[in-house]
Chains A and B, each alone.
Chain A
Amino acid sequence: MKNSRFWSPYVAGTLLGLTLLATFFVAGRGLGASGAFSLVTGVGLNAVTPGYAASLKYLSQYLGSPAPLMNWNLFMVIGVFLGALAGALSSRTFKVMFDKGASMSLGTRLVTTFTGGIMIGFAARLARGCTSGVALTGGAQLAVSGWIFVLAMFAAGFLVAAIFRRLWS
């Protein structure tokens, strides 16, 4: 196999599916990632400018609790980091680098990685979740939300890739 340093995607996908099933069964909820970023943003802004953070209706949802960081979504993301780190170290695929498309300058990559991050951060708030919280969790629940998100995501992704071929190829 060409990519033998990784698992078969079907094996990894099965483990991911069983993990999602376990969260449904044990905790009655799915996976999630983007919510933690919004939470940390809200708590961080509140530490810098408390009045302004509280004035933003969307962020004030995080600020009512006495310990807002004791949060399921945030602890899940900490787990994602630890699990991925264990995988990368144990398979010796861990390598510190600044990754980019083959024909892209470092400066351009700095712009695309940050701009793309803003886009997915904003989009995940609008859609009420990201690839994990809406696409995977909603998709497995056969929720309409999950499937319309998946279709819109792939349609736009193919379109942008066709227009900006040099991003990654």
Chain B
Amino acid sequence: MMAPFEFSEMAGLGLAVLFGAFFGLSLERAGLGDPHKLTGVFYFQDFTVPKVMFTAIVVAGTGLYLLADLHLLDLSRVYFVPTFFWPQIAGGALFGAGFVVSGYCPGTAVAGLASGKLDALVTMIGVGAGSLLFAVLFSALEGFYVSSDWGTETLQALLGVNHWIVLIVLAALAGGMFKFFSWYEKRVVHP
């Protein structure tokens, strides 16, 4: 039997809690329940967010394509995040603005609340309110929401290269960025 696997509803929900717990533990132990650390990158003070994020992306991306190439994982049965180009550009930009204003994103707000931050709870209520606002305005937004549908487009398909080329380039870019952060922290942030 090839991964991914099928589960009963209860086993699936148990796994969701388990994976979520490691997700939350990673966020909190990185310091990402703290809005000062979360927004630090945008003020060139603390680079924890890009360090954690790009490390996780390179590790998971390498593992995903390695398991697929070794025929241990059937990629056709893995849910790929679909691309809707303009809605995701607009959504990403509004998200980045809201991230700096609130100091959290949805997952890190939950980690913040779990580390005792009551302002994170207010952000969580705001996320619910923002979801409701989207639902109320959906009839006006639907045309844009379903526009520029690229399907499950990947960088390697778009560029017409092997996925390992993309992964190596991303890992090199991440490594270069981490070296720059380390230099900048020594020279500018904590000289």
Contact = CB atoms under 8 A, between A and B. Distances in A.
Interface in A3-27: 3, 5-7, 9-10, 12-27
B88 A80 contact: no
Interface residues of B, number: 131
A120 B25 CA distance: 22
A139 B91 CA distance: 16
Contacts of B156: 142
Interface residues on A, range: 35 or more
B81 interface: yes
A142 to B, nearest CB: 5
B31 to A, nearest CB: 4
B29 A91 contact: yes
Contacts of A77: 20, 107, 110
A64 interface: no
B119 A99 contact: yes
A85 to B, nearest CB: 4
A133 B24 CA distance: 14
A119 interface: yes
Nearest to B10: A70
Contacts of B100: 116, 157, 160-161, 164, 167-168
A111 to B, nearest CB: 9
Interface in A111-136: 112-136
B89 A84 contact: no
A144 B117 CA distance: 34
Contacts of A136: 53, 56-57, 60
A76 B96 CA distance: 23
A118 B122 contact: no
Contacts of B84: 128, 145
Interface in B37-89: 39-43, 45, 47-48, 51-61, 63-65, 67, 72-73, 77-85, 87-89
A6 to B, nearest CB: 4
23 contacts: A9-B51, A12-B30, A14-B55, A17-B60, A17-B63, A21-B64, A23-B19, A24-B78, A37-B128, A71-B13, A95-B115, A110-B122, A121-B127, A122-B134, A131-B95, A136-B57, A142-B163, A143-B82, A143-B153, A157-B41, A160-B96, A161-B39, A161-B100
Given A80-B23, A113-B103, A161-B39, 17 more contacts: A19-B22, A24-B60, A27-B15, A37-B128, A71-B13, A72-B16, A80-B24, A117-B122, A121-B131, A122-B130, A124-B130, A130-B106, A141-B81, A142-B65, A145-B153, A151-B92, A155-B96
